[in-house]
A = this chain, B = another copy of it.
Amino acid sequence: MIIVLKQSAGENGLNRVVEHIEKEGLSTHISQGTEVTIVGVVGDKSRLDIDRLKASPFVERVIAVTESYKLANHKFHPEPTSFKVKNTSIGPDNLTVMAGPCAVESLEQMLTIARAVKKSGATILRGGAYKPRTSPYSFQGLEEDGLKYLKAASDETGLATICEVTSAHAIESAVKYVDMLQVGARNMQNFELLKEIGKSSLPVLLKRGMSATIDEWLNAAEYIMSEGNTNIALCERGIRTFETSTRNTLDLSAVLVLKEKTHLPVIVDPSHATGVRNYVTPLSKAAVACGADGLMIEVHNDPEHALSDGPQSLTFDQFDEAMEALAPYAKLSGRG
């Protein structure tokens, strides 16, 4: 941690700041420049409250040099993480494809979709049973019934399943039926939910918040991990920017930043990021080309009549073509 003092701090201010730090058992290095004085802090900074320092009348800026997340940090965990989800695994050795509808609509629908996406090569079946929708008057999901349909589809096809959870109550139900839990973008900083999920033993897909920095995202993962659950995959799904041609702006550089900062696997969701069917396959290729460990793709038996997010869903044929087109990219990135 680096503390830049105000020009007005003077000898007295410097002494006060140093005293404050040493009282916490840490040591300091002072660097007196021609224009500014800088105090470097040496030792376990978790004992210092950064906000308290910033509030000092002598302090101009406090710059954190080390990250606040530890369990998710690549520095302390150099090997990439890999974990099982039912019969499949997420990690550096294969390309995970999660496919399925935005919302679970019926048993029939889930069986049909599960068979189709399995045939094309997906390994995890997705489907929302608890839908966070902007308006209270939009379709909110089938809840426990939806979970049952997912389970039935899994029982028949052998596919692993994933479902978003939005409350402690939903977690309780979901753990009975599905193989992986999803935290949606809107709940990325719903810390109560993260803690609850941290207590479950199912692997987790943590979507990036719409305007979350990568640092905040990794701290959100840390919330889950600090409760004991370390099987987490991070899912880039587009960030909010000024550009409105696509629903969000897919941030593929984030894949590379994450690969440097964390050992957790990274999934990319081009369907939600863009909201446009025609962009899903090319951006899936791009995601694999730059190192993603997997994809989340919306597939629907009848997109035109989907209850939620139809415009971005692939038909069965489109998904099949997409999987075929992706195969050489997976091979090129060593995930063949």
- Please report A residues at the B interface, Cβ cutoff 8 Å: 2, 4, 7, 29-36, 38, 40-44, 46, 49, 51-52, 54-57, 61, 63, 65-66, 68-69, 75, 132-137, 139, 166-170, 186-187, 189-193, 210-211, 213-216, 219, 222-223, 226, 239-246, 249-257, 260, 273-274, 276-279, 282-283, 285-291, 303-311, 313, 328-329, 332
B249-A136 in contact (CB<8A): no
B167-A192 in contact (CB<8A): yes
Chain B minimum-CB-distance residue to A139: B49
Bound together, the chains give a CA A313 to CA B55 distance in angstroms of 8
A136-B226 in contact (CB<8A): yes
Residues of B within 8 A of A187 (CB): 189-190
B243-A256 in contact (CB<8A): no
Q: A38-B40, A57-B304, A68-B135 are in contact. List 10 more A-B contacts (CB 8 A).
A: A31-B40, A33-B42, A40-B40, A52-B310, A135-B222, A136-B222, A166-B192, A187-B190, A214-B243, A250-B253
Residues of B within 8 A of A54 (CB): 310-311
Take A251-B243, A289-B282 as given contacts and tell me if A134 and B216 are in contact as well, using a CB distance cutoff of 8 Å: yes
Residues of B within 8 A of A40 (CB): 31, 33, 38, 40
A191-B288 in contact (CB<8A): no
B4-A191 in contact (CB<8A): no
Chain B minimum-CB-distance residue to A51: B310
A63-B2 in contact (CB<8A): yes
Bound together, the chains give a CA A283 to CA B169 distance in angstroms of 41
Bound together, the chains give a CA A167 to CA B257 distance in angstroms of 32
Pick the residue among B51, B137, B226, B241 that contacts A309 (CB under 8 A).
B51
A249-B251 in contact (CB<8A): yes
A49-B307 in contact (CB<8A): yes
Residues of B within 8 A of A279 (CB): 253, 256-257
Residues of B within 8 A of A277 (CB): 55
Chain B minimum-CB-distance residue to A135: B68
Take A69-B135, A282-B289, A285-B290 as given contacts and tell me if A7 and B306 are in contact as well, using a CB distance cutoff of 8 Å: no
Name 9 interchain pairs, CB-CB below 8 A, sorted by A: A7-B75, A29-B29, A46-B137, A134-B189, A136-B191, A187-B189, A243-B254, A256-B274, A286-B290
Pick the residue among B61, B216, B282 that contacts A256 (CB under 8 A).
B282
Distance between A143 CB and nearest chain B CB, rounded to angstroms = 12
Bound together, the chains give a CA A255 to CA B282 distance in angstroms of 10
Which of A54, A63, A190, A256 has the most chain B CB atoms inside 10 A of its CB? Answer: A256
Residues of B within 8 A of A210 (CB): 211
Q: Which 6 A-B pairs have the closest CB atoms?
A: A55-B310, A211-B211, A31-B40, A29-B31, A286-B286, A186-B189
Bound together, the chains give a CA A139 to CA B48 distance in angstroms of 12
Bound together, the chains give a CA A310 to CA B54 distance in angstroms of 7
Residues of B within 8 A of A134 (CB): 68, 189, 216, 219
Bound together, the chains give a CA A242 to CA B240 distance in angstroms of 7
Residues of B within 8 A of A193 (CB): 190
